[in-house]
Amino acid sequence: MGCPWQENLGMQRVRDYTCSVFRYTKVPKDDTVLMAALEALVKKHPSIGFWKCYYRLRRQGYGCNHKRLYRVYKLSKLNIRRKIKRRFPQRVKQPLFVPDAINQGWSMDFMSHSLVDGRRFRLLNIIDDYNRESLWIEVDTSLPSLRVISVLERLLEMRGKPLRIRVDNGPAFISDLLKLWCEEHGIELLFIQPGKPVQNAQNNEMGENTGGQSAKRIDIWYYP
């Protein structure tokens, strides 16, 4: 038998615990909903990492912290770097929309050309699909997604908002910045299927007509 003071000390420690300690039962963690949402997000956007998944799921209303999501992320073995060819999300073939008024559909596309000294430049062509009106031609050596958004904001002030914009799968068009900008302004962003430039044929035809003319004008401006 132990000493009396040791027994009294043990009883005192037991009395210090709350009742919830003795009534506690372990609740199994159920992350099936979060895991399904995470796998669906990674399937739709194969190239994004953990933090982009975290912020996207938070915007969708999933109230999980980053520690819980990272645990599910590792359980799904999504933290293993996959050395695979970059793939685009599945582009569903859609019939070409025939607008019956202006600002119902715009098309955007890039053209690339070079000067006589070999320097290359790009042209961003934006047209209205209804009357094939050339709304804007932006020319520069580099046209990232922020520059595309800046041009679209100027067009919205001058002409109004379109219902939808059709683009290809170029780096400036598949960026998250352009997608979020279109969502904020209520504009539907339509992508053509990879390897099917005929689905954006109106803009391609206009780009072929303006590409050579723009190159000649720039050459004359640089080399009078």
Sequence-distant (6+) residues with CB within 8 A of 111 are: 122, 123, 125, 207, 208, 210, 211
Smallest Cα–Cα separation from 152: which of 132, 171, 130, 180?
A: 180
For the chain, how many structural domains are there in total? 2
Helix (H) or strand (E) holding 136: strand 133-140
pLDDT band at 149 (very low <50, low <70, confident <90, very high): very high
Q: Highest-confidence range of 22-26, 179-183, 208-212, by mean pLDDT?
A: 179-183
Whether this model's pTM surpasses 0.85: no
Structural domain of 40: 30-83
Residue 11 lies in a domain: no
Q: Verify that 211 and 122 share a domain, yes or no.
A: yes
Shared domain check, 78 and 110: no
Is the domain of 79 the same as that of 110?
no
Roughly what angle, to the nearest 10 degrees, separates helices 145-159 and 176-184? Answer: 20
Q: Is the pLDDT of residue 222 over 70?
A: no
Task: Mark whether 42 and 149 lie in a shared domain.
Answer: no
Q: Which of 144-148, 175-179, 211-215 has the lowest mean pLDDT?
A: 211-215
Tens of pLDDT, residues 79-128: 766 555 555 555 566 667 778 899 999 999 888 888 888 888 899 999 99
Write down the pLDDT at residue 6.
45
**C-alpha–C-alpha distance, residues 90 and 80, integer Å:** 23
CATH of the domain at 165: 3.30.420.10
Residue 94 lies in a domain: no
Sheet with 164-167, side-by-side order of all strands: 133-140, 120-128, 106-114, 164-167, 188-191
Same-domain check for residues 138 and 176: yes
Instruction: Convert the pLDDT of each residue in 167-196 to its tens digit.
Output: 888 888 888 889 899 999 999 988 886 666
Average pLDDT value for the chain: 77
Cβ neighbour number for residue 159 with a 10 Å cutoff: 15
Long-range contact pairs involving 18-24 (C-beta distance under 8 Å, separation at least 24): none
**Residue 27: its pLDDT value, please?**
74
- Residue 9 pLDDT greater than 50, yes or no: no
The full 3-state SS of 152-163, as one line of letters, equals HHHHHHHHCCCC
Task: Single out the residue of 129, 127, 98, 124 nearest to residue 112, CA to CA.
Answer: 124
Query: Are 76 and 118 found together in one domain?
Result: no
pLDDT above 60 (res 71): yes
Is there a domain that residue 25 lies in?
no
Asked if pLDDT for residue 148 goes beyond 80, the answer is yes
Do 149 and 116 fall within a single domain?
A: yes
